[in-house]
């Protein structure tokens, strides 16, 4: 009966109720998006960095992975040394550079990555096959942007060339390669044409500039049953060992990378927090306003309910139910709206030049989202409680009299 009455009260002014629900939905959507943004970038960044199981990245001193064209020499010795550490179970060295590629009259520059198919954590094969292990550049795998830019397909033969290097007094080198696979690079922006080939083949192709050089070595530290804390300590120990053992390199752990990213994202998170809090406030104000309006114009009616024997708690419940129903409707609608806008904003932000393909800005983390929505629901119910309390406290005789006079 109370539900019926609450529902009927909302239906009495359908337009007003709808507007309030829309308002709440927008507040809820904003809240969800902000929560998804605040928790999402961090979660997404972490999963991106750890997806292939490598917790350490070893780069030329003072650089970030593939930040520059910098590389370190003596790569085989470095990799061999890393592999001797008892806590390191896998090492994936790679070399990145920029090459010119052409087929027919189409040409583009592309990011070229030399790596070892068996252990690499840089890309996922999506079609065709891996390039055969080789010491001469003969086969490559490429990403979708590469195919698109050159209008190429699997099986095509392309020309690959290095740029003429004035410093090294080196003429451009060329090779003919067959395109054998299509891949998706994890850390390469999706719009950038990129290819991968066996590391020795690319090193050989680059001549002096590539001989025994790498730009990055990813290392995976053994994971066992130890708790997360101990695991982190172990990774940190390995990281320090690498840096002392090899002064030419910097070792970055996923944790430090995340901390660095978080520092840069702090501003975002703060903004998200403020906007989220604001949307909560808006939700509360909306519900209070609407329920207050509704209570004010029904004070006589509510007094009659009290007169014929509905207890204070009954009136309180009925009015709070109104707030709760508004909240539920607004939040349900807002959830859909929030997810749609998050997806939309995500695609916009992912197209931002220079960002890895797999970085998501808005990530649906159920716990955070439900918490936020729960808060909004509680807030809207509490918002309804204020006018509900006033309604329940109506002085029956007085209100009946005023109603009769009106």
Partner 1 sequence: MTAPTGNRDGTPLLEAHDVQRRYEAGESTVHALRGVSVAIRRGEFVAIVGASGSGKSTLLHLLGAVDAPDAGRVIFEGRDISRLSDAEATRLRLLRVGLVFQRFYLMPTLSALENVMLPMAEAGLAPAARRARAEELLRYVGLGERTGHRPTQLSGGEQQRVAVARALANEPALLLADEPTGELDAATGAALIALLQRLNADGLTCVLVTHDAALAQSAQRVITMKDGRIVQDTGASPS
Ligand X SMILES: Nc1ncnc2c1ncn2[C@@H]1O[C@H](COP(=O)(O)OP(=O)(O)OP(=O)(O)O)[C@@H](O)[C@H]1O
Q: Which residues of this chain interact with ligand X, rule CB under 6 A?
A: 398, 401
- The residue sitting closest to ligand X, measured at its beta carbon, is 398
Nearest distance from residue 301's CB to ligand X, in Å?
19
Identify which of residues 157 and 398 has a Cβ nearer to ligand X in the complex.
Answer: 398
Identify which of residues 211 and 401 has a Cβ nearer to ligand X in the complex.
Answer: 401
- What HEC string does the chain produce? CHHHHHHHHHHHCHHHHHHHHHHHHHHHHHHHHHHHHHHHHHHHHHHHHHCCCCCEEEEECCCCCCCCCCCECCHHHHHHHHHHCCCEEEEEEEEEEEEEEEECCEEEEEEEEEECCCCCCCEEEEEECCCCCCCCCCEEEECHHHHHHHCCCCCCEEEEECCCECCCCECCCEEEEEEEEEEEECCCCCCCCEEEEEHHHHHHHHHHHCCCCECEEEEEECCCCCCHHHHHHHHHHHHHHHHHHCCCEEEEEHHHHHHHHHHHHHHHHHHHHHHHHHHHHHHHHHHHHHHHHHHHCCHHHHHHHHHCCCCHHHHHHHHHHHHHHHHHHHHHHHHHHHHHHHHHHHHHHHCCCCCCCCCCCCCCCHHHHHHHHHHHHHHHHHHHHHHHHHHHCCCHHHHHHHHHHC
Identify which of residues 275 and 400 has a Cβ nearer to ligand X in the complex.
Answer: 400
Identify which of residues 368 and 396 has a Cβ nearer to ligand X in the complex.
Answer: 396
Identify which of residues 299 and 355 has a Cβ nearer to ligand X in the complex.
Answer: 299
Identify which of residues 274 and 397 has a Cβ nearer to partner 1 in the complex.
Answer: 397
Decide which of partner 1, ligand X, none touches 228; Cβ closer than 5 to 8 Å per partner kind: none
Nearest distance from residue 16's CB to partner 1, in Å?
14
Nearest distance from residue 393's CB to ligand X, in Å?
16
Decide which of ligand X, partner 1, none touches 124; Cβ closer than 5 to 8 Å per partner kind: none
Nearest distance from residue 398's CB to ligand X, in Å?
5
Nearest distance from residue 329's CB to ligand X, in Å?
39
Decide which of partner 1, ligand X, none touches 300; Cβ closer than 5 to 8 Å per partner kind: partner 1
Nearest distance from residue 289's CB to partner 1, in Å?
21
Decide which of ligand X, partner 1, none touches 306; Cβ closer than 5 to 8 Å per partner kind: partner 1
Identify which of residues 48 and 310 has a Cβ nearer to partner 1 in the complex.
Answer: 310
Decide which of partner 1, ligand X, none touches 400; Cβ closer than 5 to 8 Å per partner kind: partner 1
- Residue ranges binding partner 1 (CB under 8 A): 1, 4-5, 8-9, 11-12, 300-301, 304-312, 314, 396-397, 400-401, 403-404
Nearest distance from residue 390's CB to partner 1, in Å?
15
């Amino acid at each position: 009966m109370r539900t019926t009455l609450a529902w009927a009260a909302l239906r009495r002014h359908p337009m007003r109720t709808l507007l309030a629900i829309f308002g709440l939905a927008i507040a809820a959507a904003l809240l969800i998006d902000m929560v998804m943004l605040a928790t999402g970038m961090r979660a997404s960044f972490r999963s991106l960095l750890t997806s292939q199981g490598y917790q350490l990245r070893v780069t030329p001193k003072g650089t970030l992975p593939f930040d520059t064209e910098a590389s370190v020499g003596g790569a085989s010795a470095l990799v061999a040394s890393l592999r001797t550490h008892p806590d390191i179970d896998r090492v994936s060295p790679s070399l990145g550079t920029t090459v010119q590629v052409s087929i027919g009259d189409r040409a583009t520059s592309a990011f070229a990555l030399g790596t070892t198919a068996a252990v690499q954590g840089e890309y996922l094969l999506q079609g065709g096959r891996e390039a055969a292990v080789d010491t001469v550049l003969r086969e490559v795998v490429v990403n979708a942007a590469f195919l698109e830019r050159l209008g190429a397909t699997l099986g095509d033969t392309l020309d690959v060339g290095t740029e003429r290097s004035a410093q090294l007094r080196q003429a451009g080198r060329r090779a003919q390669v067959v395109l054998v696979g299509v891949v998706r690079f994890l850390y390469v922006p999706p719009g950038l044409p990129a290819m991968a080939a066996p590391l020795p083949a690319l090193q050989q192709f680059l001549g002096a500039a590539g001989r025994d050089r790498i730009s990055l070595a990813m290392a995976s530290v053994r994971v066992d049953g130890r708790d997360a804390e101990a695991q982190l300590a172990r990774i940190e120990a390995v990281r320090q060992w690498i840096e002392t053992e090899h002064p030419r390199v910097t070792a970055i752990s996923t944790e430090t990378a995340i901390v660095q990213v978080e520092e840069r994202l702090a501003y975002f998170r703060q903004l998200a927090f403020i906007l989220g809090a604001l949307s909560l406030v808006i939700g509360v104000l909306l519900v209070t306003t609407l329920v207050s309006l509704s209570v004010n114009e029904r004070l006589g009616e509510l007094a009659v309910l009290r007169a014929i024997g509905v207890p204070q708690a009954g009136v309180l419940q009925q009015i709070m139910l109104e707030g709760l129903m508004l909240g539920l409707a607004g939040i349900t609608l807002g959830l859909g709206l929030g997810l749609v806008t998050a997806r939309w904003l995500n695609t916009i932000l992912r197209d931002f030049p220079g960002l890895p393909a797999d970085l998501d800005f808005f990530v649906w983390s159920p716990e955070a989202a439900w918490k936020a929505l729960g808060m909004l629901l509680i807030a809207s119910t509490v918002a309804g409680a204020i006018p509900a309390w006033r309604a329940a406290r109506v002085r029956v005789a007085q209100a009946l009299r005023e109603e009769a006079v009106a």
